[in-house]
Amino acid sequence: MLESLLNPALVLILGGLLVPLLRDLPRKLFMLALPVAGLALMVWLPTGDGGVVHMFGVTLETLRIDKLSFIFGVIFHIAALLAVIYALHLKDTVQHVAALVYAGAAIGAVLAGDLITLMIYWELTALSSVFLIWARRTERAYHVGMRYLIIQVASGVVLIAGIAVRYVMTGSVDFERMSLDEPGAWLILLAFGIKCAFPFLHNWLQDAYPEATVTGTVVLSAFTTKLAIYALARGFAGTEMLIWIGAVMTAFPIFFAVIENDLRRVLAYSLNNQLGFMVVGIGIGTELAINGAAAHAFAHILYKSLLFMAMGAVLFRVGTIKASELGGLYKSMPWTATFCIIGSLSISAFPLMSGFVTKSMILTAVAEEHLWVIWLVLLFASAGVLDHSGIKIPFFSFFAHDSGKRCDEAPMNMLVAMGLTAALCIGIGIYPQPLYSLLPYSVDYNAYTTTHVITQLQLLLFAALAFAVLYRRGWYPPEIPALNLDTDWLYRYAGRRVMDGAVAVTQGTGDAAARLGAYCWAQFDRHALSGVREQGWLASVWRSSTLVWWAAALIGLVTLIGLLQ
Amino acid sequence: MNNHEPGWLDKPRNVTRIVYTLYAICVLLLIADLLYTKHVHFAFEGWFGFFPLVGFAAYLFIVMSAKLLRRLIARPEDYYERKQRGGSNDA
């Protein structure tokens, strides 16, 4: 029982809860030490299942360290450390505690050996992360947070239902690969799908992430969706349906990202698109594909964090992140601009950058299965990535026209966090072997073939050429302050209208029912009750003969009933 | 660097230089297709200029169709906030 406390997740969660006791420098050092200690503990712990806890007659394995959980555990610790550095200037205790507990919960979930442990941490990620949105402390953030929390908790409830069905039918709560015919598997897949932002279940992501605090969005972007990617890779690898779901995910957010004005929301759409690549890899399920999904998740967490950090720094310094109000910031924030460009090159998968050595594993896995339609969709989506994350993000914030805005460079701790993340993005791109050695299966893959380098450069630079032509001719859609409808319209507008309608109908029916009731009561009162009141017919003085008649009739009735029996 | 002096990139001449450099690189990359043996999974990958074409065409298609999409789904920024106050336009 005691050894089950030796869990990296608990280091971050319990450590996070102690943060309010400390101030200033000790607090900063303590927060920096937590992810390092967690990672050290995870490396030190033996591989295999452990952390056994007996609860309500069920045996839980709260700790499972194997190749698949280990790589996600490693990148979650790194992401947590980078996020702590990025938020080091912050005095808001709530955000520090929430970020550490949230990171710890995500780590606990990927290290969970059974479904019940997974579910507990799954819910904790939802409950802790919402504070990163609420910490914005605006009315809008409050509403966004509530929507986010409802959807996240719904995912947990669906997961509980799936686990319950599975436990009753099979008596097992093991978290292993399952097929969709198994009891409860569809519910579990749906729960994962909500957190993974499957098409039509996606919009909580674009709704909530851009409304969190400057540092909160960086933390949010790393964990929840990649936890879902891990869960899918563990539970549903090789499920063919995921190939198609993933392909749709890579394609549709691109169009929204092109016209979105809030640059952190552009990144949220881009995040959705990147998840699609990983889901395709999981759906294919071959060793190369699962390696690709895990490697891409690893690289993606870094460059996506980097991009959110850069945009967060702009928001922090300028006070807005709307593309229509930005431009020309490279003079004020040269370092942030440089780091942002490194993130953009990485996500676009330029050679020598991290995305190049990871995304191509997934594309190669698709090609090896001869799925040419999917392969073309992914290629198409890769050109789309270049637009929204490769060009739009750095171009409209740091270049384009001079918005006239002047500000200071980002704070030193933010620059350090961005610099470290950028170094990792380049490091993985140039020397991917350490990352490859962490992957679930042994790697026999070389991204740097002549064909791959040249074709990738052709794809990207001709897409950039298209941008240059469109922009210089004035055909590129201008950045305008506007909001774009997405599926959240269904519950934020249509749902509201339906509810208003239902309330009106209920109220109308209620009014009608109340009027009918009042009328009936009035009639009853006038005809029946008036009799018993003073002066009423029942209360008036009756003649004794009347009573005799009633008595005779009653006796007659009783006799008649007696005879009939 | 907090001054109002135009930066290097504010001069149109320099921007044009960058764009022409991009054009030149693209031409070189297209020529490169003739100079090596492509290792491909699908036959169509081997066609001359396949990847440049996909990159350019996909980009044009995405941006132009997104412009149409904007007509369909763009709304004022306070669209939802306005509706939350009981449907009145008092925002």
Q: How far is B90 from chain A (nearest CA, A)?
A: 17
Nearest chain B residue to A466, by CA: B56
Judge whether B66 lies within some domain. Answer: yes
Nearest alpha carbon to residue A329 among A396, A422, A429: A396
As a whole number of angstroms, the distance between CA A175 and CA A35 comes to 26
Give the dihedral sign, CA A23/A26/A29/A30: negative
* Residue B6 CB-density burial (10 A; 0-12 exposed, 13-18 middle, 19+ buried): exposed
| A451 to B9: CB separation less than 8 angstroms, yes or no | no
A142 touches chain B (CB under 8 A): no
B3: in domain:
no
pLDDT for B86: 47
Residue B74 parent element (H or E): strand B74-75
> A55 by DSSP, 3-state: which?
strand
Contacts of B23 in chain A (CB under 8 A): 465, 468
Which residues from chain A sit within 8 angstroms of residue B26, using beta carbons? Answer: 461-462, 465
How far apart CA B86 and CA B74 sit, in angstroms, is: 22
Interface of A with B in 284-313 (CB under 8 A): none
Rounded to 10 deg, the angle between the A139-170 and A115-134 helix axes is 180
Helix (H) or strand (E) holding A311: helix A287-318
3-state DSSP helix/strand/coil percent for chain A, to nearest 5? 75, 5, 20
Interface of A with B in 370-429 (CB under 8 A): 370, 372, 375-376, 379-380, 383-384, 386-387, 399, 402, 406-408
pLDDT of A3 reads: 77
Domain locations along chain A = 1-236, 237-484, 487-527, 530-565
Distant-in-sequence, close-in-space partners of A433: CB < 8 Å, separation ≥ 6: none
Q: Specify the pLDDT at position B84.
A: 54
| Binary contact (B38, A451; C-beta < 8 A) | yes
Q: Taking Cα atoms as reference points, which of A85, A94, A50 lies closest to residue A69?
A: A50
Give the chain A residue whose CA is nearest to the CA of B76. A482
Confidence of residue B1 (pLDDT cuts 50, 70, 90): very low
Gap from A87 CA to chain B (nearest CA, Å): 25
Tell me what pLDDT residue A54 has: 86
Q: CA B11, CA A495: separation in Å to the nearest integer?
A: 51
Residue A297 CA to its chain's centroid (Å): 14
Assess A478–B contact: CB distance below 8 Å, yes or no: no
Name the residue among B7, B60, B84 with its Cβ closest to that of A330. Answer: B7
C-alpha–C-alpha distance, residues A385 and A121, integer Å: 32
- CB–CB of A334 and B1 under 8 A? yes
Interface contact flag, B62 A387, Cβ < 8 Å = yes
Spatial separation of the C-alpha atoms in residues A122 and A229, rounded to whole Å: 13
The Cα B91–Cα A139 span in angstroms is 14
Residue B2 counted as domain residue: no
CA dist A409 → A251, A326, A337, A518, B78 (Å) = 35, 15, 10, 72, 31
Q: What angle do CA A186, A187, A191 make, to 5 degrees?
A: 115
Closest to A351 (Cα-Cα) out of A244, A453, A496: A453
The number of C-beta contacts closer than 8 angstroms across A and B is: 164
pTM score? 0.88
Residue whose structure tokens are 């599926």: A487
Side-chain half-sphere CA neighbours of A257 within 13 A: 30
Query: Is residue B44 included in any domain, yes or no?
Result: yes
Helix (H) or strand (E) holding B18: helix B12-32
Q: Which residue has the tokens 């460059």?
A: A303
Structure confidence at residue A1 (pLDDT): 61
Cα–Cα distance, A275 to A362 (Å, whole number): 12
Per-residue pLDDT 10s for chain A (565 aa) are 667 888 999 999 999 999 999 988 999 999 999 999 999 999 999 888 888 888 878 888 889 999 999 999 999 999 999 999 999 999 999 999 999 999 999 999 999 999 999 999 999 999 999 999 999 999 999 999 999 999 999 999 999 999 999 999 998 899 999 999 988 999 999 999 999 999 999 999 999 999 999 999 999 999 999 999 999 999 999 999 999 999 999 999 999 999 999 999 999 999 999 999 999 999 999 999 999 999 999 999 999 999 999 999 999 999 999 998 998 899 899 999 999 999 999 999 999 999 999 999 999 999 999 999 999 999 999 999 998 889 999 999 998 888 888 899 999 999 999 999 999 999 999 999 999 999 999 998 999 999 999 999 999 999 999 999 999 888 888 888 888 888 888 888 888 888 888 888 988 898 999 999 999 999 888 877 777 777 776 666 777 778 788 888 999 998 888 887 6
Residues 6+ apart with CB under 8 A from A268: A205, A206, A209, A210, A221
**Whole domain around residue B60: which residue ranges?**
8-84
B2 band by pLDDT with thresholds 50, 70 and 90: very low
CA A96 – CA A16 distance, rounded (Å): 7
Q: Strand A483-484 relative to strand B74-75: parallel, antiparallel, unpaired?
A: antiparallel
Strands (E), A25-177: 48-55, 58-65
Q: Which of B53, B59, B67 would best serve as a mutation to test chain A binding (most A beta carbons within 10 A)?
A: B59
Q: Which two tokens stand for residue A284?
A: 């294919």
Whether chain B has a CB inside 8 Å of the CB on A330: the answer is yes
The residue of chain B with its CA nearest to that of A140 is B81
- The token pair at A106 is 């995500």
- Look at chain B and report how many structural domains it folds into: 1
A200 touches chain B (CB under 8 A): no
CB atoms within 10 A of CB A348: 26
CA distance A447 to chain B (A): 13
pLDDT, average across residues B41-70: 91
Structure-block tokens of residue A332: 């004020």
Question: Helix (H, G, I), strand (E, B), or coil: what is residue A48?
Answer: strand
> Distances from the Cα of A327 to the Cαs of A322, A337, A463, A474, in angstroms?
10, 11, 22, 17
* Placement of tokens 């003073």 in the chain: A534
Beta-strand ranges (E) seen in A283-395 are: none
In a domain, B43, yes or no: yes
In a domain, B1, yes or no: no
- Inter-chain contact A482–B52, Cβ cutoff 8 Å? no
Chain A positions touching B69 (Cβ under 8 A) are 255-256, 259
Nearest Cβ partner of B51 from A143, A258, A458? A458
Q: How confident is the model at residue B89 (pLDDT cuts 50, 70, 90)?
A: very low
H or E element, residue B17 = helix B12-32
Is residue B25 in some structural domain?
Answer: yes
Residues A130 and A135: their CA atoms lie apart, in Å, by 9
Q: Is B89 contained in some domain?
A: no
- Is the CB of A259 less than 8 angstroms away from the CB of B70? yes
Report the residue of chain B nearest A385, measured CA to CA.
Answer: B59
pLDDT at A104: 96
Nearest CA in chain A to B22: A465
- Per CB-CB distance under 8 Å, the chain B contacts of A332 are 1-2
List pLDDT tens digits, range B18-38: 999 999 999 999 999 888 888
Query: For residue B25, what is the nearest residue in chain A, using CA coordinates?
Result: A461
Does the beta-carbon distance from A463 to B59 stay under 8 Å?
yes
Tell me what ipTM this predicted complex has: 0.86
Interface contact A459-B22, CB threshold 8 A:
no
